[in-house]
Amino acid sequence: MIPDVRGYLRENRMPHILCPGCGHGIVLGALLRAVHALGIPQDRLAVVAGIGCSSRLAGYVDACTLHTTHGRALAFAAGLKLARPELVVIVLTGDGDGLSIGGNHLIHAARRNVDLTCILFNNAVYGMTGGQVAPTTQPGWVASTAPYGHPEPAFDGCALVQGAGGTFVARSMAYDPRGLQAILTEALEHRGFSYVEVLTDCPVYFGRYNRLGEGPELLWSQKARFGEVGQMLRDKRFVTPDGTAPAGRVEGLRFGILHRAERPEFTHVCWSQVRRGGDP
């Protein structure tokens, strides 16, 4: 039975600002179910966010929440974890917020191995400010700042974080909320820096600009890449006759838990030095 997670929401903040067909709410639902399954008390749960559509979700979660400046969510979250190590700290960020202006903070949070769970919502555009290209926009895709197609290669955020020293790296998609919940549960249990990238398409800018349809069609496209589709989905307008989706969105990306390692966690190391009086 799916748990009722409305107790984790500030219902007085509803209705939410998300556009019809946006996958961000699916991701938030999976996160709250993972929190519920682990029995994390709401007064020990801290949700930190930067600027963007995904970052606005922090305001709807009934926990200790912090809405920070653009790209700086991980810096605020690291300070919070160091000051209050007993908290479970989750960072909600987007591909623009977390990989562009906040990319340096992402690298160093991973390098330090701070015990944070960073969930990066990858919709391949700046969804809140007009559909500009983001670091994850694939070559050839159309955006408001790339009307003839994006000429640059895209970041692989998971490879970046693993290379920087992150000890838990995973990728999932909005189409698979149960699989995402399982990954988030493991990420929250991991002691160290956990990075979970979630493909969650923007129907207003990414879908419309690239003629891929609305929210349902974008989810069907994810399904076509994720596994087999039945005849009913094959008949849909935006899924090609062979059951695949338009090329380019997630080509070459791997899904699931991609990397897991154990090494000293930064908060524990710092507090251990404090208790020893600073001796090395």
pLDDT recorded at residue 159: 93
Q: How confident is the model at residue 239 (pLDDT cuts 50, 70, 90)?
A: very low
Higher pLDDT, 155 or 181: 181
Q: How many angstroms separate the CA atoms of 118 and 260, rounded?
A: 15
Q: How confident is the model at residue 218 (pLDDT cuts 50, 70, 90)?
A: confident
Mean pLDDT (whole number) for 8-13: 89
Per-residue pLDDT for 141 more than 60? yes
**Tens of pLDDT, residues 45-67:** 999 999 988 899 999 999 999 99
User: Is the CB of residue 203 less than 8 Å from the CB of residue 19?
Assistant: yes
**Tens of pLDDT, residues 173-216:** 888 889 999 999 999 999 999 999 998 888 888 877 777 777 77
User: In the chain, which residue ranges form alpha helices assigned H by DSSP?
Assistant: 24-38, 73-83, 95-96, 103-112, 157-164, 177-189, 208-209, 215-226, 231-234, 266-275
Q: What does the mean pLDDT of the chain come to?
A: 85
**Tens of pLDDT, residues 90-121:** 999 998 889 988 889 999 999 999 999 999 99
Q: How confident is the model at residue 227 (pLDDT cuts 50, 70, 90)?
A: low
Locate 42 and state its tokens: 């709401």
Q: Which domains does the chain have, with CATH numbers?
A: 20-210 (3.40.50.970), 218-248 (no CATH)
pLDDT recorded at residue 225: 62
User: Is the CB of residue 91 less than 8 Å from the CB of residue 118?
Assistant: yes
pLDDT recorded at residue 279: 54
User: Is the CB of residue 218 less than 8 Å from the CB of residue 199?
Assistant: no
Signed CA dihedral, 249, 158, 194, 127: sign only: negative
